[in-house]
Amino acid sequence: MAAEEICWKCGQLFSGHFCNACGAIQPPAANYFDFFELPPHLNLDAAELEKRFYALSRRLHPDVFARRSEREQRYSLDATAVLNDGYRALRDPINRAEYLLKESGFDIGEQKSNPVPPELLEEVFELNMALEDLRSGDSDAAPQLEDARTKFVAMREHIDRDLSAKFAAYDESESRELLTEIRGVLNRRRYVRNLVNEVEKALSGYVPN
């Protein structure tokens, strides 16, 4: 439930995007969960989010406010920007988790040093050797890279299942400790995703003899 605010136009209390008393559009909430009037959860009903997106798109579209005051036109433009950015962030589970972490005060930026997870040291070493061989024209490295791609894709799928379980646990408890764990899993997923992308890029440029 959105918190009550005071309407800029008539001074009455309201909640949501429009004043209940005078109908004036209000400044949009900056937080995406608040904007869509959804709980700050990591698991969301995708169909419900989409339904709210299209309903708000119709009500907040700048064309609706073309003959209104300059202030209302500005609020409509601001709300439309938040609507689109928020929908992109919340409809994807990984983006949603990163957004919630950021809103909760966690640093989710790419690590500058980008250290190799300890359990992946051997795989990454072998991968880098195979990539170097392929770039040097050694076609025998291609099957090894295909195997590596299969392994890393499976690893990413396993991470996604782990994240799904942690998302559900967080929605039940809203534990900050769980958010810390989730951030660690997301960092590991990002690293594995980058490995998959690197292998696919190398293989896409490989032309068999």
* Residue ranges per structural domain of the chain: 5-91, 118-204
Distance CA 194, CA 200 (A): 10
**Distances 163 to 7, 15, 186 between C-alpha atoms, Å:** 40, 33, 8
- Between 52 and 133, name the one with better pLDDT: 52
pLDDT tens column, 159-181: 999 999 999 999 999 999 999 99
Tell me phi and psi for residue 114, to 5 degrees.
Answer: 50, 60
Contact criterion met (CB below 8 Å) for 28 and 82: yes
Ordered DSSP codes for 140-178: THHHHHHHHHHHHHHHHHHHHHHHHHHHHHHHHH--HHH
Q: Considering the chain, what percentage of its residues have pLDDT values greater than 70?
A: 94
DSSP 3-state percent helix, strand, coil across the chain (nearest 5):
65, 5, 30
What pLDDT is stored for residue 206 in this prediction? 62
Closest to 8 (Cα-Cα) out of 63, 74, 64, 58:
74
For residue range 67-118, list pLDDT tens digits in order.
999 999 999 999 999 999 999 999 999 999 999 999 999 987 655 455 777 8
**Distance (Å, whole) CA 59 – CA 145:** 51
Q: What is the pTM of this model?
A: 0.87
Which CATH number is 5-91's, of 3.90.25.10, 1.10.8.350, 1.20.1250.20, 1.10.287.110? Answer: 1.10.287.110
pLDDT at 112: 47
| pLDDT confidence of residue 2 | 63
Rounded Cα distance between 199 and 126, Å, is 12
Give the CB-side neighbour count of residue 86, counting CA atoms within 13 A.
26
pLDDT > 90 fraction of the chain, expressed in percent and rounded: 75
What stretch of H or E contains 83? Answer: helix 70-91
